[in-house]
Amino acid sequence: MATDASKTPVITDARRDLAAAYRLIAHFGLDDSIYTHISARAQADKEDFLINPYGYRFEEVTAGNLVTVDIDGHVVDDPEGAGINKAGFTIHSAIHAARPDVHCVLHTHSVAGVAVSCLEEGLLPLNQWAMEFHGRTAYHDYEGIALDLAERERLVADLGDKSIMVLRNHGMLVCGRTVGEAFKRMHNLERSCQAQLAVMATGMKIRRPDEALAEHTAQQYEKWDADHDVSDRDPEWEAYLRLLKRIQPDFEG
Ligand SMILES: [Zn+2]
């Protein structure tokens, strides 16, 4: 159900940040045509979430054309009447409903992420990037394209209280307390996957950090997150927003 196409949405930080995340994912080559999604809670105190209009490439997403969907899949606001992707709703609504601590859910089908999702051992803590995720990564087995609403329960059960999930034979998913946090996590996860594949491709003996060092490093990342409240300034995210304002200033429109 589309709403009045002439209605002009109020541009909030959630809209601006989410549109920025779409543009940045495309800028760094992690998009997949019109597929995969990034969603953000529309307001802190409501379950409604914002998601991309159906059929738009990521570089076409703007703060003003994002679609608002309620947790049952009803379109609440659709400025351009484009609708949404049903499979995207299945995955994202499940997590927004189950995890009030999560403001943003970011899912990708990057080549490196899909490749690591196909490995039996999954993501390995081989380097500093990847150690952020050591012992903190969930795995969800592939069930076909996510059109079955019953899969939502299994997705949520597999995710538990974690913020990173490998969707086996499919791709990657991260959660964040803010859009910026989710984007930065995905950027780090992508680098981790690319580095893992590059190391494996050498065929040479791999030097694996021991368990204690990987856990220590993961805890260092966690402490950084714990020490930074979501209301604090985020200089790294601000730097990404400045990048976009230089190269794609229309994202805020
Ligand atoms: Zn997907």
What's the gap in Å between 27 CA and the centre of ligand 1? Answer: 19
Please check the confidence at residue 95 and state whether its pLDDT lies above 70: yes
The yes-or-no verdict on residue 141 having pLDDT over 70 is: yes
What is the per-residue pLDDT across 25-71, written as a single tens digit (0 to 9) for each? Answer: 999 999 999 999 999 999 877 889 999 999 999 999 999 999 999 98
Quote the ligand 1 centre to 109 CA distance (angstroms).
6
Share of the chain above pLDDT 90, in %: 81
pLDDT of the residue at 151: 87
Ligand 1 centroid–CA 110 distance in Å is 10
108 Cα–ligand 1 center, Å: 6
pLDDT for the residue 10: 53
How many whole angstroms from 88 Cα to the centroid of ligand 1?
A: 7
- Identify the band that residue 195 occupies on the pLDDT scale cut at 50, 70 and 90: very high
Over 90: is that where the pLDDT of 11 sits? no
Please state which of the ranges 86-95, 113-122, 190-199, 211-220 shows the lowest mean pLDDT. Answer: 86-95
Residue 9 has pLDDT above 60, yes or no: no
For residue 242, report the distance from its CA to the centre of ligand 1, in Å: 29
Residue 145 clears pLDDT 70, i.e. is over it: yes
pLDDT at 73: 86
- Cα distances (angstroms) measured from residue 15 to each of 33, 49, 67: 21, 10, 10
Q: How confident is the model at residue 12 (pLDDT cuts 50, 70, 90)?
A: low
Higher pLDDT, 90 or 177: 177
Residue 35 CA to ligand 1 centre (angstroms): 7
Instruction: State in Å: Cα 206 to ligand 1 middle.
Output: 30
The chain-wide mean pLDDT, for the chain, equals 92
* 230-249 pLDDT tens trace: 888 899 999 999 999 999 99
For the cut 80, the answer to whether the pLDDT of residue 132 exceeds it is yes
CA of 36 to the centre of ligand 1 (A): 5
Dist. CA 148 → ligand 1 center (Å)? 13
Please, are residues 74 and 24 in contact by the beta-carbon 8 Å criterion? no
H helix runs in 106-234, sequence order: 111-117, 128-131, 151-159, 179-202, 211-227
Distance in angstroms (rounded) separating the CA atoms of residues 3 and 83: 10
CA of 123 to the centre of ligand 1 (A): 18
Tell me if residue 199 falls in helix, strand or coil: helix
Helix (H), strand (E) at residue 241? helix 235-247
Q: How many A from CA of 144 to the centre of ligand 1?
A: 10
Centre of ligand 1 to C-alpha 111, Å, is 12
For 76-150, where are the alpha helices, taking DSSP H only? 86-98, 111-117, 128-131
Ligand 1 center from residue 15 Cα (angstroms): 22
Q: Examine the pLDDT at 133 and tell me if it is beyond 50.
A: yes
Task: Please tell me the distance between residue 117's alpha carbon and the centre of ligand 1 in angstroms.
Answer: 12
What pLDDT is stored for residue 88 in this prediction?
Answer: 81
Task: Kindly report the backbone phi and psi dihedral angles of residue 180, in degrees, each rounded to the nearest multiple of 5, phi listed first.
Answer: -60, -45
> What's the pLDDT score for residue 86?
82
**How many angstroms is it from 241 CA to the middle of ligand 1?**
26
Give the residue with greater pLDDT, 68 vs 149: 68
